[in-house]
Chains A and B, each alone.
Chain A
Amino acid sequence: MTSARLRRLLATPVWVLYSLWAMLFYQLVFTAWTLQYSFFGVLGVLAASLLFLFSYGKRDRKTMVRFTLFSLAISLGIPSFASEPLAWVVVDYIVFVLFALILGVWLVRMPVVRLLLVIAVITLAELWVPLSDMSVLSHFGVEYTGHLGSQDSQIPSIPVAAAPDPARPGLDEVVTLQAHRPVKGEAQELVNLLGQPGAPAGLQDAIVQLQHSYDVVGVTPGRFGFRVASPAMSVLRGLPYHAIGLVDFPFTTSHFLDVFGKTRMYLSLSANPGELLQMALSPGHLADGIAGLSLQTAADEKANWDQLTGRGQTTVDGLTLSQGYLSGTYAGVPVRVKTSGVALFGVYRMLSSAQFSSPQAVLEGNNLIQVIALPPARPRVLATLKGSFSSPLTTDVVFADVAGTGVDDLLVNTVPAQILRLTPDLSWRTLWVSGRRSFRFETVFPQKGGDLLIANSPGFDSDAPTRYLGGYLFEGGQLVPQFRVYHNDLVSLHTVHVTSATTPELLTSVYAHQEIMLLKPSEVPWLAIVEGGYVLVILIGWIRRFRRGVTP
């Protein structure tokens, strides 16, 4: 085969690969620079673009620039109609492809088949990972994406939780919501059920809310992709009421019921708009009003969840919290300690094993966190951390072994966020305070030598509060970035083990997109590949220039 023929054969695959590279480079590098470094990022983009431009001679430059712009236009154009109903997507896509081909033939002057292949490959890439989520590829691979399947504005971000999967010991099942699609005759079946003995409570409201109800679903890896099915009741029983029921709390109340063996959820306003307005017009009673609404909504939601699942008091390592006492049995020794706590975070090692042989129970009360010693030490309150009105302590707290010593510190999402350590003399020491008000810790990936702290952090050189995902190590009193993912809508992040018992995965909900994602640290270094691709593109340009002897 002659080299000319080989070149002709390879030309189309190379151009297709180039179009994919251009799309990824724009998403992973140029967008990242701009979001991280603001104005300086734009300067960086300009500099890299100019270097690219002048790496090619005049004739090549024209083709490269036009084809690059064509590829980017295709990648950015496809998502514009992706959210439409399927029939419209098909119609719009056909029209889009026709116009793109006309534009391509006129502008880029390349064979129609090659342009068609470029469009097809970019489309497939965006079906694999939607353009809006492509930025996660800089560190993660997308294992699973799920959608609510509803434009209901009452759920801005889909609740997600993980529970141990009874069929796969050591692995988790994702529990989330999907919009319920009523089928013909379903309302009649529910009405028939209504008249029968043992009909679930709340069924009448569920019929009224049929269009606005949600199926509670479990997501597990199957033989071919992921399997979405109704989770076993034992899985749901393992979750607290607020795991997936806390939607717009305390202004809406979640209701759960078992319909034909499947778990259904719907929402109702906790107080009607008139009652809420009366609260706003009565500031003298507002604190009591909202406290009452919060307590009532939580009590109702817990009752709804417990009635469905048969779940009782939350028990952690044999300990329960009730009526102002932490009680139960720990290490075979009875425990009963009076506490201000109302919620049990769990049992964590907050102090070294040299000081206390067993770990401690950590609880949250009204704007405070308490640490309680457990047997064999005498059970008692060891330390209390109090919040303020301006920096309230909510349960927005992450436990992390930041130093790799086996002792956990508190990553507290006050404003600003802080890392706090309980010292051996039982006082609190602040290890780190965020310089940015919008910085928040999300979860941790446990690892030797110090946990990897997953956080949402604003850009480096921008006053905007917009946050992007990042992984940090706490070293020398600073947070040292290990990766950044320039996706600004990732909320409700959990460390889970859905597909791997050893590699931690990130389960997240995408705010305002009604989407959930399961992310796994990528085995393919996409970021290094696209950066290397840039170097290669520049090198090829210079080599062609030198070989042809073309002056700039």
Chain B
Amino acid sequence: MSQAGAVKAKADATASVFARSRPRYGELVIRASLVIAALITVLTTVGIVFALASETISFLGEVPLHDFLFGTTWSPLFEPPSYGVIPLVTGTLLTTAIGMIVGIPLGVGSAIYLSEYATSRTRKFFKPILETLAGVPTVVFGYFALTVVTPWLRKIGIEVDAFNALSGGLVIGILIVPTIASISEDALSAVPQGLREASFGLGAGRFQTSLRVVVPAAFSGIIASIVLGASRAIGETMVVLLAAGQRPNLTLDVREPVETMATFIAATGKGDIPTGSLDYKTIFAVGALLFVMTFILNIISTWVVNRYREEYE
């Protein structure tokens, strides 16, 4: 027997000790079905992208891209119809901007309190309130905007229409507080304790330590939370559908009704429009625009969150 043969025989013997006694086909089947389950999540994304893209391309076959993206009149039901999406975009950005003005200070403020000031007792009190707020269905917030906030705005002297961008935007702001607060709080809590102690040791108070040391150290996480909050605000449907009206309106006047992209999709999808009609395709074209906008924000947010996590681990 040659030397090489002996070595190979020995290697085979070693391998056989560790090798499975028999192939386990059952385990392979199980593993394959687990992979299929994971692939369903990928398939969902592919489905969304494909559905939106195919109908949008066919929509753009009938309406030029330039007219769609830069046109300033949205009146798909009028004769002749006009498909300029700008009023829907400005309506969305208007309610989102109001929401951010409310949501950012409240969300980040709540996060700083919970992470830097709260004792474990006050945390136990406030944390469930934020979680409850996050669990309230959006249709209930829509009811709140319509029947509480709008009358209240009129009472304090702001002459709003029955449907208006302001009350929808304000309530969207409340809606995104839990999103911003929970991610910001994670980021603030991840700042090493040593930084705070060093700051206290130099004579800074909690105010200075929070704003000059902890918040800058957690800045990327806070930004990520705000970006995610903006993405939620842009995609929010029920609050604006119920409280902000359905009039495509190129305006910055927050007292007037506006139509957002999500509102248009819901209001049009409600009716029984025939598959393949231009009305049906507009849902997908506007949906594609909404999806692209939120997708970019989500990518930015997850990228920032993942990056910052690695920094502190």
A binds B: no
Contacts from A to B (Cβ < 8 Å): none
Query: Which residue numbers of B lie inside 8 Å of A, CB to CB?
Result: none
